[in-house]
Chain A
Amino acid sequence: AQTVTQSQPEMSVQEAETVTLSCTYDTSESNYYLFWYKQPPSRQMILVIRQEAYKQQNATENRFSVNFQKAAKSFSLKISDSQLGDTAMYFCAFMNLDDKIIFGKGTRLHILP
C-alpha cells in the first residue's frame, strides 16, 4: 500500500523568506503523480503544484517549486518570497495508476508579518 509522510506538523517563517516543506512517500509503482495542495482557513482545497513521476524536471509555478527525488521517494515544496496569504495547511498527495489518491497528514504553515 502506498503511504505519504509529512514530517513537519507545523512551521513558521517570516514574510518574504523561503520555506521548504518535506514529503516522502512509499510505493512500488514506477509511474504515478504527486501533488501539493493548500487548504486555507476557508478549508477549500486548492492545487498548488503537480509532478509527473516520469518527468525528471522539477515542476515550478511562480513562487512555488518542488524538489522531486524519485530514487529517494522525496517530494519537497519550496515557497519563495513567502506572503501572508500563504498561511495555510499544506498537503502532499500521491496518485497511482488506479486513480487512488492518498494524502499526508499535512503541515500547518504560518507566515509571520
Chain B
Amino acid sequence: DGGITQSPKYLFRKEGQNVTLSCEQNLNHDAMYWYRQDPGQGLRLIYYSQIVNDFQKGDIAEGYSVSREKKESFPLTVTSAQKNPTAFYLCASSIVDFNTEAFFGQGTRLTVV
C-alpha cells in the first residue's frame, strides 16, 4: 500500500542530544513537509522540499535541520539548539503540480527530558 511512514511513533531523548525523525513515502510525491504541532498552535511549518537536494525554511526552522538526498525520504533532525523540542511532529507529502492536497504520516511524539 502507498503511504507515508513516520518512525518511531514515540521517541524519548535526553536534553542536549540531537535526534533524527524519519519520514519515508512511496507515493512518488515530489514535495515533502515537516510540521510541528503544539496545543493551541495548530500546525507550524518547519521545512519543506519541492525536489531532491533542495529545501526551504518554514516559519519555525531554527533549531532544526533536514536533508533530501532521495525523493522518498525527508529526515528531520532536532538539534540541541531547539529550545522546546517536546512536541508532536507530522510529515507530509504532495504532488508538485499545484493541484493536490498533502498526505500525512501518523506523526512522531518527541519527548525530551
Contact = CB atoms under 8 A, between A and B. Distances in A.
Interface stretch (B13-21, B62-70, B75-83, B86-94): B86-94
Contact of A105 (B41, B106, B107): B41
The 3 closest A-B pairs by CB, nearest first: A105-B42, A45-B104, A103-B43
A99 B96 CA distance: 7
Contacts, number: 54
B35 A103 contact: yes
Interface of A: 6, 9, 33, 35, 42-45, 47, 50, 91, 95, 97-106
Contact of A9 (B40, B50, B99, B106): B40
Give the contact-size bracket for chain B.
20 to 34
A44 B6 CA distance: 12
Contacts of A101: 33, 45, 48, 92, 94, 102
Nearest to A47: B101
B40 A99 contact: no
Interface of B: 31, 33, 35, 40-45, 48, 50, 56, 58-59, 88, 90, 92, 94, 96, 98-99, 101-102, 104, 106-107
From B43, B88, B99, name the one whose CB has the most chain A CB atoms within 10 angstroms: B43
Contacts of A50: 101
Contact of B42 (A91, A95, A98): A91
A99 B94 contact: yes
A57 B98 CA distance: 18
